[in-house]
Chain A
Amino acid sequence: MLKIDHLTKTFGDKAAVDNLSLHIVPGEIYGFIGHNGAGKSTTLKSAAGIQQFDSGEITIGGISLKNDPIACKRIMAYIPDNPDLYEYMTGIRYLNFIADVFGVDADTRSARIRDYADRFQLTNDLAQPIAAYSHGMKQKLALISAWIHEPKLILMDEPFVGLDPVASHLLKEMMHELCGRGGAIFFSTHVLEVAEKLCDKVAIIKQGRLIRSGTMEEVRGDDSLEEVFLELEAEK
């Protein structure tokens, strides 16, 4: 579903991502962990097509992101770490805007909005301007907008930050549902317990380089993910 080959992105002299390769297949929840500034967001932004990269190849559903970015974006969704949304719109207008751009027909979008907004207990607030939303409400709205066109791949940067425990639980359910339908999820997190329990596979990035990846069992062995991560971080 998502294939990243030899991705390199530099900012000036500094390599934010250095020759990184990853392969995420349909049905997988793939966690991406690393210290602050390790290159997680840069990788996610590059895969989402909102940041140009220097070299390497990214394909989504077999389509090259460089050659046909629009076709790639049609089948995926991206949520950044800080969901800055259009504050001059109400929640429902924002969702309709996203649905219009993705070409979701009126009946389907209504059903999906009803379903997801009810689950996140956001229905009553959909008529409010986004400017009046709390951080958590914005995060929920961003999640609904990502799910509204039923993408095959969702890229998320720290999706659990700002969510209440009920919403976190719901998000995990929705991630499993999407993967159960053959979709895939690639997300970054600092919450190692979440990654450990939720992910099928995990990748650890350090200073732009992928230092370990694979199934959860392969990566952590007999230790906890936290122990492995701290050990790898301590290595020079």
Chain B
Amino acid sequence: MTRLLIKKQLMEIFKSYFYNAKRGKKRSRGGVIASFVFFAAIMAGLLGGIFTMISSSLCGPLTSAGLGWLYFILMSAAAVLLGAFGSVFNTYSGLYLARDNDLLFSLPIPVAAIMVSRLMTVYLMGLMYSACVLVPAMIVYWVSNGPSFMTVLGGLVTLLDVSLIVLCLSCLLGYVVARISLKLKNKGLLTALITVVFLGGYYFFYFRFSDMIQTLVRNAGTYGEKIKGSARMLYLFGTMGEGNGAAMLLWTLVCAALAAAVWLVLERSFLKIATSTGAVTRTVYREKKVRRKSPASALLARELRHFTSSASYMLNCGLGILLLPAAGIALLWKGESVLAIPARVFGVNGTVMLICAGLCLMGTMIDTAAPSVSLEGKNLWIAQSLPVTPWQVIRAKFHTQLLLGGIPTLAAALCGAAVIARQFSVPAGTLVLFVLLPLLFQALLSAWGLFFGVRMAKTDWTNEIYPIKQSMPVFLSLFGGWAMAFAVGAIYLWQMNRFSLPVYMAIVAAIAAGATAGMLFWLKGEGSRRFMELQ
């Protein structure tokens, strides 16, 4: 039974490799092989390549100083971080929120078998990410020091133990998120918040990683002695890769015990969490005085509520809402030193244009409009049957992105303008255009996203992550936006001598406004007709 369930889980994960959902057909054998080769190239080539370089720079200095065990500890720590990061976002939903919960629980299948099959998916994800770090690390070590039976065995045991640690960490994080979200009303916001905090921590660590490693390598002897003396278990973990058989046995027992403890924690609450609707705190309705809204306001409020209720929607289509003001603050804080470098290369005008194009580029990280039509999904009948024109519905989606993107863009642009005014002598008209251009670009992005959103809408999705993350409108909106923002900056730097900056900015602003108007005109006419024909 467990094997059957694991097979089903794996079929779900790799479904897209065997089945072309767009054409509704099975992929050819060549297509399947190409999909797997592409996936392997991304994982082994990209991630594996990065960690091969890191391993190469660390292995030599550490092993020659007799600190091979420290090398394995560092690489194992990186593997645990990457493994946990790679699987933490889907552990909660993968373990507890599967759509086939009701079906499986109603069948004569032991709950433990369902748990094992779900945990196996989490384990395989963690193993895959950990292997991308540890396999190159092991190969580099074997090549540098010559492989032996014990070091090969030690490397494999290290990988096994790290994958078990990743599994335990992911499960515990998933369990904590599940317990918290059962008690909270706005789960979407919580998940988004946790993810943003996690992302922030990850990038903080990422940017400081190279400094930390260099410090560690410079003082390897001192740190090594400290670890050896005060963290004996950690030291033993590192010696596994060097072929310490006793350490392998000890750590495998520790990891097995850890996994058993996590299993016991999960098993006690699995059924309760998986079958809970989360409505633990029941809010009883109390009648309140309401204010009547216009249909346009009601439609706008509906769009904003949809956005703020979905963690996936916020994280994938609204990250720029946080990043733009953060960039503005960073400009105010470190702007003078940051702007000094491009000013030496491109001059004042080139730098002003670069910052402006950069703000446009960051604006592409807000793309709520592109998936919004597909996101109507099975609720499409409501918007179609209400006494509002399709244009009113589409316009509300346009205004939503304008609102969500416009305010942070304005904040960042004003910060940028303040820094530019402080550092360079730039005419007031140019500063006005500097602020205006990213705002017009945001309007263009919104209309651009909706243009594709209406043309390529697909409302028959079963998981909202499809329209939000994997649909063509989002792809075109994002990458099209990048291309446009890049072109805005690059064309000026290329033809800098032919245009004065304000003239160039005015031309770009006029093109952005014209293109936006053109697309809105299409949306009001043909786009509205297509919206009403959606099923």
A residues with CB within 8 A of B = 45, 48-52, 70-71, 73-74, 77-78, 80, 82, 84-86, 88-89, 91-93, 96-106, 109-110, 114, 123-129, 132
In the complex, residue of chain B having the shortest beta-carbon distance to the beta carbon of A145: B382
Would you give 29 A-B contacts (Cβ < 8 Å), ordered by A?
A48-B385, A49-B384, A50-B381, A70-B387, A70-B388, A73-B387, A78-B381, A78-B385, A82-B378, A84-B377, A84-B379, A85-B379, A85-B382, A86-B306, A88-B310, A89-B305, A97-B301, A100-B292, A100-B294, A101-B295, A101-B298, A102-B387, A103-B295, A109-B290, A110-B289, A110-B290, A124-B284, A127-B284, A132-B279
Is there contact, CB below 8 Å, between A88 and B295? no
Shortest CB–CB separation between residue B283 and chain A, in angstroms? 4
Minimum Cβ distance to chain B for residue A175 (Å): 19
Give complex CA distance A91, B285 in Å: 10
Task: State A103–B387 Cα separation when bound (angstroms).
Answer: 10
B12 at the binding interface (Cβ < 8 Å):
no
In contact, B386 and A73 (Cβ under 8 angstroms): yes
B302 beta carbon closer than 8 Å to chain A? yes
The reply to whether B279 and A128 contact each other, CB–CB distance below 8 Å, is: yes
Flag whether B22 is at the interface (Cβ < 8 A): no
- In the bound assembly, the distance between CA atoms of A89 and B297 in angstroms comes to 16
Find out whether the CB atom of A86 lies under 8 angstroms from the CB atom of B385. no
Residue of B nearest to A48 (CB): B385
Seen from chain B, the residues whose Cβ lies within 8 Å of a Cβ on chain A are 277-279, 282-287, 289-295, 297-299, 301-302, 305-306, 309-310, 377-379, 381-382, 384-389, 532-533, 535
Instruction: Report the minimal beta-carbon distance from B95 to chain A, rounded to whole angstroms.
Output: 20
B290/A96 in contact, CB under 8 A: yes
Q: Give every chain A residue within 8 A of B302 (Cβ-Cβ).
A: 86, 89, 97
- Give the interface SS of chain A, mostly helix, strand, loop or mixed: helix
> Which residues of chain B are within 8 angstroms of A96 by Cβ–Cβ distance?
290, 298
Chain A residues, Cβ within 8 Å of B379: 84-86
| Docked-complex contact A100 and B284, CB < 8 angstroms | no
Contact B298 A97 (CB under 8 A): yes
| Residue of B282, B298, B301 with highest tally of chain A CB at under 10 A | B298
Of A52, A73, A86, A106, the contact of B290 (CB 8 Å cutoff)? A106
A48-B385, A49-B385 known; A88-B290 Cβ under 8 A: no
Known contacts A49-B384, A70-B387, A110-B287; A88 and B533 CB within 8 A of each other: no
* CB neighbours of A77 from chain B (8 A): 385
CB distance from B281 to the nearest CB of A (A): 10
A103 to B292, CA, bound (A): 8
Give the residue name and chain of the B residue nearest to A92 (CB). B285
